[in-house]
Each structure stands twice: as C-alpha cells, then as structure tokens.
Amino acid sequence: MIGVDWGTTSLRAYRLDGAGAVLDRRESAQGILSVPEGGFPAVLDAAVRPWLDAGEETVLLCGMVGSRQGWREAPYLPCPAGAAEIAAATVPLPFSGARRCFLVPGLSARGPEGVPDVMRGEETKLIGLLAELGERTAATLCLPGTHSKWARLEGGRIAGFATRMTGETRAVLLGHSILGRLSAPAREGRSDEAFRRGVRRSRDRGGLLHHLFGARALGLMGELAAEETDDYLSGLLIGHEVRAAVEDGGAGGGTVHLAGSATLCRLYALAFDEYGVAHRLHDPDIAARGLHRIGETLP
Amino acid sequence: MIGVDWGTTSLRAYRLDGAGAVLDRRESAQGILSVPEGGFPAVLDAAVRPWLDAGEETVLLCGMVGSRQGWREAPYLPCPAGAAEIAAATVPLPFSGARRCFLVPGLSARGPEGVPDVMRGEETKLIGLLAELGERTAATLCLPGTHSKWARLEGGRIAGFATRMTGETRAVLLGHSILGRLSAPAREGRSDEAFRRGVRRSRDRGGLLHHLFGARALGLMGELAAEETDDYLSGLLIGHEVRAAVEDGGAGGGTVHLAGSATLCRLYALAFDEYGVAHRLHDPDIAARGLHRIGETLP
C-alpha cells in the first residue's frame, strides 16, 4: 500500500510492504497550503505515480489534507479510538489513480471538565506507537511540536489526549513580543545550560506569565545574555508543558514515550530529566507504521 | 510643583498644589518614542510652559523617560523602598526651564528564588496608593496592564513585587497565533459571559498552554463563537494571572487594591469575583498623587 502524511507545509509518501516495512519514500514541500484549488488529485498522482504503475492499489492519507482547508474534510472521531475504529471512519476520496483511496479522520477528546480537544495527523503517529509498544500496553505518549500532543493509550486504543500550544507560543513571543527584541541569534549554536535554566525556573511558583517577564528582567540586569534568551524561553515553555503534564498525572504513571523531530525530542528529554520523568525515544518515522496499521484494518 | 508621567506612547502632566491636589492637567500622545534625538527639553518645555510662567519651580518626571531609550537613564533602585528612598535616588536633569528637574528611578526586586524583576513608572503609582492607604498599612496592590504589577506594601514601603506579562501575551496571541485567526470582532461589544468562562477555565488543571489550545478546539467544535474568542482569551490569561497570585500568597492576605484603566479594572474585578478574592478599586489618577508624595521628600 501507499501511505501519505500530508500536512500544512510538507508531503511525506511511503510505499509499504505487507509487513509495514518502508520500501521507498518521497518527501516534498508540497503541503496543502501550496496546492491550488482542485489540484489535490494531480499533486498526489505526481507524488506516487511510480508506485501506482508498479501495481499498488491502496492509498491512505492522513494529516491536514483531511481538514476544511484540505482535499475533503474528514470529521473528527471521538476518543477512545483504536486502529479499527479509525479505519472504519476513513473517508473515501475520488482519486482515479488507485483502486482505493481513503482519508484518515482526526480525533477529538474531552478533558475531565468537558472541554474539547482535537488532533489531525497525530492520531496516525499514535497508532504507529501503539503498534510498536503492543496493543496491551497502557502508556503515556508525547509528540512535541507547534501544538504538542500528550496521549494516553489503554486497552489497545487512544483513550484521550491533551494539546499544549508550546511551540506556537514560543514562536509568537520570539517573533512579536519584547522577549524577541531582547533576543540575539546564538553565536555558537544553542545553549543547553540556558535551556535547563529555563526548565528549572518553570518549577518555581509565580506562574508562566511571571516567568516570561523574568526573562526580560534577567536580560536587563545582565544575568541572561541576549544569545541565551531563545533557549531560556524554550526551557521555560517546555518546562511548563512538562510540569502541567506531571501535575495532571499524565506523565506520572511511568515512562513517557516520545517521538518527533530529533531536535525537539532532545530538548524534551533534557526537560524530562530535570523533572525526573522517565522517558523513551522512538523512531520519528512512526507515521508510516501507523498508516500501515490502519491500512491493515481498512474495510 | 509639576509632575509628569512620561511613558512610551503618552505624556501626562499635572500641576499640583502643596496638598497634592491636581490644579491643572495636560495629556498628549508625545510618548518617548515620538521624541527626536535631543528633543526632550523642548517637548517638556512646550508641555508645561504656562505653569512655569506661573511660577512653578520644581518638575518631577517618572516613567520610561528614565529608561535607556528616554532622556537619561535612572538606575533601578532595589526594594524595599518608600517615598523617601525613591526621592533620595532621583536623578537631576539639565532642564533650564525650571529651577529643579528630577527623574524618578525605576525599582527592582528579587523573588524568593533570586530571579530579578523590574518596573519603571509603576513605582510612582504604588507610592500614590501607599499615600492613599496610609503608611502603616500592609497591603497587596495590583496594577493591571501590558505588564501587570503585583506589589506588597509593608511598613510604609514597597516590600517587593512580581510582574506578569498578561496584556502583551494576549496581544501577541491575538495578533499572530491561530487564536487570532479564529477570532472575529464582537458585534455587540464585549461578552462578560465569555470572559467569565475563560476565568473559570483557568481554575482547572492542564496548565495555561493547554487551556490556550482549548480556545481553538472550542471554536472548531462550535462551542465558542468567533466573536467570543477575544474575551474568552482575556479571561483565561487574567484568570491565570490571578490564580498564580493567589497561589503565591500575594492575593491571599486580604483585599487586593486595584488601580488602572477603567476597562481593565472592571475585567480584573470580574476575575477576582470568580476567584473569591476581595478587592477595592482606586482612583486611576494615582500617578499624580505619587509624584506629589515623592516631590514632598525631594532633597
């Protein structure tokens, strides 16, 4: 089968064998934002044509391609949900290049107070981790990013999840607040010590909004270099993310399973160490594994 | 005497009698950002010339005019500090229009963990509140704003303070994040119910970064109108500010004394009500009172 993780700014396509091994892969910057009106079938065809010519009959797509801004909207499926429920909720797509073409739905969940949460694309990665960890495992998963996802696996399904807007908050503060005006590009790469200092600060009282201003005051008082501001701010925000997850109990029940970009995962591992949270790093390529697992149970 | 509260984007000048009553006032948009290189004496002269002609001899300035970007830099004075310490740390300015012209210094403080904090301009308002409350009062003060200040008065002095970057965080999230793209201008003015809902959400577990994403998920699920997003976000952020202050004990010791813009104070009063924190609203014109109080003890 062919699996495609089609996000806002990138397209990652995999040719998978019957056991889920990646036979071939293609990656491009043709995210959904770059696709012209009505252009989705043509872009997909161009991306996977050689594999179709070689006889592949099934294409499974996940990510923002299933959002309102994508090819077609696949409604959010409520948690708890496993591979079978997700496969049953896939949306067929009109794509003449393959015999079968489906969209993976996003997931929704409700927190203990009834407030909703949503994901689109990450459900496939979580199913990939679930396949890797074994269906019987109860586990906490963390996918760091612009909108970090913390999910709980139970009984072979995604029981629920919580999103934290860590990456986007960092980006807008650096780009548009007084903290960005204080910041200078690091001369010698990033500073783990400034990052750790930010994480340690997140453990104090005072709240995130106070700790943010502290980055400015440290700069004014000559106690934080301009080149360290970015890393300190990352440490503060990721630290507050981990702190809240620990306080929620989401990270308290044993090892946190971590998957995502190597750069981000490395920072999260540093933050977990500061908080004394056990963690295990997984292959960043779990989307392919998730696409295969969902594909196995397609109707 | 003449007192001037000269900030980044505005200039407020007061003519004060010997008892501190405001005899006359002028306000303009000539904040320090609009003053050309070397132009501070001329702008000040133009703003207060009639009062100088009428015989006033002393001018006292506070606010960002005393920052590195202002007329001259007045170093931060460490807390604890009262009117006398602040008056003794004023910086004389070369202004030929008056017999005496001084800059009020900003204040610095250190939190329990040693992290610094700073203010410039708000120290004068706090001294004004101190004069209003009486020098023997121990009290918690809150000055809401772009960078909200929470201060503790003890023994006639400002014992310490904490800044929370609430207003600026709201502005950058609304202006530059996915939350702003979800938001639409309110058709019928602001919604107190959406604001209160945000405040109530701040009391839940999960952390601010999770609650922020919740505003998006509520919108996607049709449970928060686009016109309510702004007020809900304000409630979340001000709620988290009040929550942290309560947890710090800063707002736990009785009535919080609140002063600032009428619009903001009204919102903070709603948030205090949700948190069960007693509060008392003060005259927004406390800067004039503080300038007078500091002026009384000038050397």
From A173, which residue of chain B is nearest by alpha-carbon distance? B172
User: Could you give the CA distance from residue B202 to residue A62 in angstroms, rounded to a whole number?
Assistant: 33
Question: What distance in Å separates residue B206's CA from the closest CA in chain A?
Answer: 5
Best probe of the A interface among B213, B221, B234, B243, by most A CBs < 10 A, is B213
From B242, which residue of chain A is nearest by alpha-carbon distance? A207
8 Å CB contact of A207 and B164:
yes
> Measuring CA to CA, which residue among B299, B6, B253, B269 is closest to residue B124?
B6
8 Å CB contact of A117 and B204:
no
Show the DSSP H helices in chain B as ranges.
40-53, 83-88, 122-133, 166-176, 178-182, 192-202, 208-220, 229-248, 262-275, 286-296
Predicted confidence at residue B185, as pLDDT, reads: 78
8 Å CB contact of A213 and B147:
yes
From B168, which residue of chain A is nearest by alpha-carbon distance? A177
Predicted confidence at residue A284, as pLDDT, reads: 83
User: Could you give the CA distance from residue A187 to residue B94 in angstroms, rounded to a whole number?
Assistant: 40
Residues of B in Cβ contact (< 8 Å) with A175: 172, 176
> Residues B38-66: pLDDT tens digits?
999 999 999 999 999 999 999 999 999 99
**For the whole model, what pTM was predicted?**
0.94
User: Quick check: B40 and B97 in contact, CB under 8 A?
Assistant: no
B88: CB partners within 8 A, 6+ apart: B297, B299
Question: What distance in Å separates residue A20's CA from the closest CA in chain B?
Answer: 33
Residues of A in Cβ contact (< 8 Å) with B201: 113, 115
Residues of A in Cβ contact (< 8 Å) with B78: none
8 Å CB contact of A175 and B175:
no
Question: What distance in Å separates residue A169's CA from the closest CA in chain B?
Answer: 7
8 Å CB contact of A209 and B240:
yes
8 Å CB contact of A208 and B166:
no
From A236, which residue of chain B is nearest by alpha-carbon distance? B209
8 Å CB contact of B217 and A117:
yes
Residues of A in Cβ contact (< 8 Å) with B250: none
Question: What distance in Å separates residue B136's CA from the closest CA in chain A?
Answer: 27
Predicted confidence at residue B184, as pLDDT, reads: 81
8 Å CB contact of B218 and A115:
yes
User: Quick check: B202 and B239 in contact, CB under 8 A?
Assistant: yes
Nearest to A244 among B111, B176, B206 (CB): B206
8 Å CB contact of A218 and B116:
yes
Task: Give the angle subtended at the CA of A159 by the CAs of A157 and A162, to the nearest 5°.
Answer: 130
Residues of B in Cβ contact (< 8 Å) with A218: 115-116
Cis peptide bond prior to B80, omega within 30° of 0? yes
User: Could you give the CA distance from residue B185 to residue B180 in angstroms, rounded to a whole number?
Assistant: 10
User: Could you give the CA distance from residue A34 to residue A131 in angstroms, rounded to a whole number?
Assistant: 32
8 Å CB contact of B115 and A176:
no
Helix pair B192-202, B262-275: axis angle to 10 deg: 50
Residues of B in Cβ contact (< 8 Å) with A220: 76, 116, 118
H-helix or E-strand spanning residue A48:
helix A40-53
Residue ranges, chain B, pLDDT below 70: 187-188, 250-253
Structure tokens at A67: 């959002």
From A67, which residue of chain B is nearest by alpha-carbon distance? B220
Predicted confidence at residue B248, as pLDDT, reads: 83
Best probe of the B interface among A8, A115, A119, by most B CBs < 10 A, is A115
**CA terminus-to-terminus distance, chain B:** 14
User: Could you give the CA distance from residue A91 to residue A70 in angstroms, rounded to a whole number?
Assistant: 13
B141: CB partners within 8 A, 6+ apart: B126, B129, B149, B150, B151, B152, B153, B256, B257, B258, B259
* Beta-carbon pairs below 8 A across chains A and B: 157
8 Å CB contact of A115 and B217:
yes
Q: What is the pLDDT along chain A (299 residues), one digit of tens a residue?
A: 999 999 999 999 999 999 999 999 999 999 999 999 999 999 999 999 999 999 999 999 999 999 999 999 999 999 999 999 999 999 999 999 999 999 999 999 999 999 999 999 999 999 999 999 998 889 999 999 999 999 999 999 999 999 999 999 999 999 999 998 878 877 667 889 999 999 999 999 999 999 999 999 999 999 999 999 999 999 999 999 999 999 887 655 689 999 999 999 999 999 999 999 999 999 888 999 999 999 999 97
8 Å CB contact of B209 and A207:
no
